[in-house]
Amino acid sequence: MNPVADNAPLLRTLSPALRGLERGLRNWLSRSHRYPMSTMNRFDLEGLANDLHRQAEALEVEQPLLVVMLMGGTGVGKSTLLNALGGGNIASASFQRPTTRDPVVYYHESIRPDRLAVELKSCRFVAHDRPALAQKILVDTPDVDSNDTTNREKLLKLLPIADIVLYVGSQEKYHDKIVWELFLQQRKRRAFAFVLNKWDRSQHVGAAGLRPDQDLLRDLEAQGFKSPLLFRTCAQVHVDRAAGRPAATLPDGEQFGDLVNWLEAGLSRLEVEAIKARGVSSMLEHLRQALDRAAPPNLSEVAGRVRTAWTRPLCEEATAIAEVLVNTLEPYQREIEHHFALEGRRRFRGLMAGYLHLITQAQFFGSSLQSRIPFFGQSASQPTPIAWNLAMFTNACSDVAASRQLDARGKALMNRLLVDGDGQGFPVPLLAESLEALAKIDWRQRWSRGLMDVLDSVEKQWTRPTGSRKLVQSAVVFLADWIPPATLLAGLFVFLYRYFDPFNRYENVTRSWTDIFLPFIALLVVLIILHMLINLLLPLRWGAIRDEFRKQLDARLRQELEAVYLEAPGDVAAKLAEERLAADKLMGEVRDVYAWLSQREQAVAVNSLYGNQRDG
C-alpha cells in the first residue's frame, strides 16, 4: 500500500490513508465473525475506528491543533496551574473548582468552535488572544480520584483526543494509584510531560531517601522514559502575582517559566507535526495489536489432532449403534429368514423351485411382517408376504432404536467429542456450534438407509456369492435343478417299462395301480436329500448371517459417522482461516501506513515525551 506520495506534506496527505483504514476497519467489524470477539476487543476496535476518523479530520487542516490535556488527582493544583498558564484570563472568567465540574477548554479566539473535537463541545470554553498559543488547546479535566465516578468517565471520554497529556502531581499525590494506573494504560498511545506542582513543599527527602521529583524520575525511567520532561512549579505563586496579590518567594529550581516557554516556543509547528505523527504511529500500533488479538488463530494443526482424537470414540460409537440396531432386528429374525429364503429360492428352477416354495410357505406359515409391524398395509389374515418393503422395515427398526437409545447416545457423543476437542486445544464454543448443527441432521434416516444397504449387501453376498462359495452354490444349484427332473423321468421310465414289459421280463411280478406313485416318491426323496444338502452348504438362517451383518453394519456406520464428524474441525479451521486472511489484509494495510509514516516522521526533539514501546 502506498498511502501518499513521498514528496507530499506529512500530515495533510496522511488523512486519506487514515480514512481508508477507518473504512476497512468498520467493514471488517460489520461482518459476521465465527470466531468469538470479546466485548472489550470490539469496544477497543470501535474506539480505534473513531480515533482514525477524528485524526483524519484533524489532519486535513493547514495548521493542525495541538491538544494539551491536564490530568491529575484531587488537590494537586491542575486548575491553579491552568490559571497560571492563562496569566489571569481564566481567573477573570470567575472559574472556580468545585468537587464536581465540567472540563475547561482554554483556546485562542481565532479558532472556530466547529474546528474543535466533538468531545470538547460539552466543556466550558475560555478564549484568549495570546499568539504564542494560537494552535494549542489547553484542557483542564476533572479529578481522576474524585468520589464522583462521572469525573473519571468524563476524563476517559476526553483522553483519546489528547496529543500531549500533562501529568500533574504534588508532593502528596505524584504517584497516586488511580492516576498512575491510568498513565500506565495510556503511556504508549500518547505523549506525556510531567509537572510536579507545589514545588515549595516538595524539596524534602522521603522515606526512600529521594525527593519526590527524584522518585518520580526513577519510576518514569522504569517505564521507558529515558529523559522525561519534568517541570517543577509553584502555580499558586504565579496566580497571586498575576492578580496583584502578595506572593511568596519562588524556591530554587522552580520551572514554571520553562513550562510556559516549552508550551509557547518549544512546541513549534515542526514539533506539533512530529507529535501528531507520533500519535498516529502509536494509534496504528495499537490498532495492529488489537486486530491481532481479535483475529482468529490458525487452527489447522489443532484440527488435525482433533480428527485423530475423534477416530476412537466414533469407532466405538459405530460399534455400539450397530449392536443396538442388530438387537432391534432380533424380534424379526423369522421375517428376515423368510425373506432370505424367498430370495434364495430364486436361484433354483423347475421342480426344486416349486418344492422350496411349498417348504417356505409351510415353514413360515402364520408369520408375517404385518402381524409384527402393523404398517405394511396388509391384513392380519394374509399369509407371509412374497415380497417385503425393505425401506419401511428398516425405517421402523431405526425409529425404534432411536427412540429407545440412539437419540440419547447422540447427545452423549457430542459431549464426548467436545471434551476431546477441548483437550486438544480447540475452542469449545466453535466446536459446539458446529456439532449442534450436525446434531440436527436426520440421523434416523441415515441409520435406516445404512440398515437397508447392509441388509441388501448381505442378501446379495448370501444369494449371489463370489469365489469358492459361488462354485459350491453353482454346483448345488445345478444338481438341484437337474437331478429331480432326471429322477422323475427315470422313475416314470422304469414304471412304464415294467408295466408294459415288452420283453416279458416282469410277467411274474405283481402289478398294482399304486405303482404310479413310486416315481414321485423317489422324486420326493431326492428333493429332501437335496434340500438337506442346500441347508448344509447354503444356510440361510439369521444366526449364520447375524455376525456378518453386524460386521458390515459397523463398518458402514463408522464410515457414516467419520464422513460427517471428522470434517467438522477442518471446516471450522478453514472458515477461521478465511476470517484470519481478512484480518491479516487489514493489518497489512496498517503496517504499510505505519512503515511509511515511520520513514517520513520528523522526530525533532519530542522523544522525551514518549516511553519505549515495550509491553508493560
What is the average pLDDT across 36-61? 86
Residue-range domain boundaries for the chain:
14-295+578-609, 302-465+539-565
pLDDT tens digits, residue range 589-603? Answer: 999 998 888 776 655
| CA–CA dist 111, 62 (Å, integer) | 13
pLDDT tens digits, residue range 115-165? Answer: 788 888 888 888 888 888 888 999 998 888 777 777 888 888 888 889 899
Q: Comparing 429 with 63, which gets the higher pLDDT?
A: 429
Contact present, 18 and 280 (Cβ < 8 Å)? yes
* pLDDT score at 190: 82
Predicted confidence band of residue 605 (pLDDT cuts 50, 70, 90) = low
pLDDT tens digits, residue range 471-493? Answer: 887 888 888 888 888 888 888 88
Share of the chain above pLDDT 90, in %: 21
Predicted confidence band of residue 504 (pLDDT cuts 50, 70, 90) = low
141 grid coordinates: 479535566
Sequence-distant (6+) residues with CB within 8 A of 305 are 424, 425
* pLDDT score at 149: 75
Give the CATH architecture of domain 14-295+578-609: 3-Layer(aba) Sandwich (3.40)
pLDDT tens digits, residue range 210-226? Answer: 888 999 999 999 988 88
Looking up cell 490458525, which residue turns up?
A: 298
Other CB atoms within 10 A of residue 197 CB: 28
Instruction: Read off φ and ψ for residue 408, nearest 5 degrees.
Output: -65, -35
pLDDT over 70 at 206, yes or no: no
* pLDDT score at 372: 44
Lowest mean per-residue pLDDT among 25-39, 190-204, 448-462: 448-462
Predicted confidence band of residue 196 (pLDDT cuts 50, 70, 90) = very high
**300-329 and 390-401 helices, crossing angle to 10°:** 110
Q: What is the mean pLDDT of the chain?
A: 80
Between the CA of residue 487 and those of 39, 66, 355, 409, 506, what are the distances in Å?
Answer: 91, 118, 14, 59, 22
* pLDDT score at 380: 37
pLDDT tens digits, residue range 239-266? Answer: 888 888 888 889 989 999 999 999 998 8
| CA–CA dist 44, 58 (Å, integer) | 21
pLDDT over 50 at 91, yes or no: no
Predicted confidence band of residue 379 (pLDDT cuts 50, 70, 90) = very low
pLDDT over 50 at 95, yes or no: no
Residue 534 burial (CB < 10 Å; 0-12/13-18/19+)?
buried
pLDDT over 70 at 96, yes or no: no
Sequence-distant (6+) residues with CB within 8 A of 286 are 48, 188, 189
Contact present, 140 and 71 (Cβ < 8 Å)? no
Which DSSP string do the residues of 558-580 spell out, in sequence order?
A: HHHHHHHHTHHHHHHHHHHHHHH
Q: Comparing 102 with 363, which gets the higher pLDDT?
A: 102
Task: Fill in the amino acid letter for 23.
Answer: R
Q: Which residues pair with 368 in a beta bridge?
A: none
* pLDDT score at 386: 38
Q: Comparing 541 with 238, which gets the higher pLDDT?
A: 238
* pLDDT score at 600: 67
pLDDT over 80 at 421, yes or no: yes
* pLDDT score at 32: 85
Between the CA of residue 158 and those of 96, 120, 140, 328, 530, what are the distances in Å?
Answer: 20, 7, 10, 72, 101
Q: Comparing 350 with 96, which gets the higher pLDDT?
A: 350
Q: Comparing 405 with 103, which gets the higher pLDDT?
A: 103
Predicted confidence band of residue 510 (pLDDT cuts 50, 70, 90) = low
Contact present, 25 and 49 (Cβ < 8 Å)? yes
pLDDT over 50 at 462, yes or no: yes
